[in-house]
Amino acid sequence: MSVRHMIFAVSAVLALAVTAGCTVRVGGADDGGGAELFGEGNSMEWDLTRPLEAGALGLPDDKRVEVDVPEGATVSLTLPTGTWSGRTEQMAVSTRHGYVDSVDLFWTEADGQAAADRMVADADLLGVDGTRVAEWAETARWAETADTNRTRTDANYNGSNGEVSTSIKPSMAVGQGEGTPVRLWYKFYVRDVVETAG
């Protein structure tokens, strides 16, 4: 590859990084680092309605990568019918055949009602059943004082927004009393976006 072509390739990657609102660096498995995808203001914006090339984002071609998430980080993901935005504490990106295949976001809500409220607020955009996710508040109230051998209770709500498949998974400890925190896991699965474009 000539120097001119190398400069062009690097410029193209940097241009994509700027428009995607992220920096480009991936720590190797040996150094314990993850992908650093959050840019200025600890934010990241991706358009999931089009295929995202792994290499242009500094990600490996076929791997699940844990992302370095700064404190107070926010993520905005453009879906076919709108943009989802929220904070995240942990994030993982899976790639397949050189493209982003799925995005996983994890964070903690204060209690079962807060988790249910957040899921209901996101239900229409994520294409999940709002009535079903609202029922999590009752499940959480039971779990707070339940006398059972189970240590955790969880649920799984699947949906879709156009070609982007979605999943919401709340999880909480059982028998820990009022105000038990709830861990939320949102998954955005974009294989259909990639395959349709191909």
- Same-domain pairing of 117 and 81: no
Q: How far apart are CA 148 and CA 175, in angstroms?
A: 8
Same domain, 73 and 119: no
Q: Are residues 116 and 165 in the same domain?
A: yes
Is there a single domain that holds both residue 54 and residue 80? yes
Residue ranges making up the domain that contains 157 = 108-197
Please identify, among 54, 70, 99, the residue that sits at the C-terminal boundary of a domain.
99
33: helix, coil or strand? coil
Query: What is the distance between the alpha carbons of residues 139 and 50, in angstroms, rounded to a whole number?
Result: 37
How many structural domains comprise the chain? 2
pLDDT tens for the 198 residues of the chain, in order:
444 343 333 333 333 333 343 333 333 333 444 456 887 788 899 999 999 999 999 899 999 999 889 998 999 999 999 999 999 999 999 999 999 999 999 999 999 999 999 999 999 999 999 999 999 999 999 999 998 999 999 999 999 999 999 999 999 999 999 999 999 999 999 999 998 876
**Which domain-ending residue is among 99, 124, 143?**
99
Cβ neighbour number for residue 153 with a 10 Å cutoff? 20
Using CA atoms, how far apart are residues 3 and 73, in angstroms rounded to an integer? 37
Residues 130 and 61 in one domain: no
CA angle at residue 97 from 95 to 100, to 5 degrees? 30
